[in-house]
Structure 1
């Protein structure tokens, strides 16, 4: 069972404020958050890593320089998350994988071991189940979607993620507890600082 990773890094980060630094360029342990996310995915057992870019694309791609990832531009990023999912799932190597691990770029606590735990659960289910990270019974991210749900993803519209697909697919859903990392995202300057980040750019 092959799994490709799609990292969503195209959003406008509107909750950071008009004059504030971009959260994905905030430094954690000396690295931009988007680079940290990409390195985490590359260290996991994924066959391919795609990063969807949009807002401040040039800076995001510069932060990924030298890494073995493919960047996929979402020119329609302002319309919401659905367009970024569609952009990621449209990449040829993503379409060919048995499962797609959807990862948000603003979750600094997620580790390669967490991703491998999700991938192992997906393989144990022979690729016939959705695998979702969570903690203490509460659903979170990342999530792995089987290839069979690709058409449903391509029909998404607006600022919605895959939650509706997960709830209505009819496929089994396997929840994997990865601790607090499943819910820790950094959407505001205060959240970046509280999580140990340093605002840049």
Structure 2
């Protein structure tokens, strides 16, 4: 099942709320396998090539990000991640020289991930298949890891 449909859209609404309340001025929801109405004031973009994997969704979202100074990459299948996590990771990225930060939970990498605009070309060039931003993040030594295990589990839930 497409994860935007989980629990009648509750995970989608939770993710959008976390991003807005966490400090994101513009939230783009990338859709693919299922096209649904997204909660306002978020806006939707459809990744026509969604079947190519996660990288297609990241590309579509980045293309729709406009003039933003950073992108906050987040997933709907981490339903216990709230605004407090987004706020913490966004603040860390803004104060980091490299402008890249990611949430970790008990040391385990997770979402959200924040990438400053100056790194978008490198991120886009690294995308392929179902890896998403993983290769980009793995090849950098300036990624700030932000422990958020005190706020959420960050668990990626694959089955409701």
Q: Structure 2 length as normaliser, TM-score?
A: 0.88
The answer to whether the 8 Å contact 2:55/2:130 transfers is yes
- What do the CA deviations read for 1:118-169 (whole angstroms, capped 9, x no partner)? 111112225x331010022222211111112211232322111111111224
Question: Any gaps of 5 or more consecutive residues in structure 1?
Answer: 1-12, 14-21, 193-201
Q: Secondary structure at the match of 2:102?
A: strand
State the superposition RMSD in angstroms.
1.9
Alignment of 1:37-186 (within 5 A): 37-57=15-35, 60-61=36-37, 64-65=38-39, 67-91=40-64, 94-125=65-96, 128-155=98-125, 156-170=127-141, 172-179=142-149, 181=152, 183-186=154-157
The verdict on how the C-alpha distance between 1:132 and 1:182 changes in structure 2, with shifts beyond 3 A counting, is: farther
- Whose RCO is larger (CA < 8 A, sep 6+)? 1
Counting matched residue pairs gives 158
Q: CA deviation at 1:43?
A: 1.3
Q: Does 1:26 align with 2:16?
A: no
Question: Any gaps of 5 or more consecutive residues in structure 2?
Answer: none
The higher radius of gyration belongs to 1
Q: Structure 1 or 2: larger strand share? A: 1
Rounded to whole Å, the distance in 2 between the matches of 1:182 and 1:99 is: 24
Rounded to whole Å, the distance in 2 between the matches of 1:131 and 1:158 is: 22
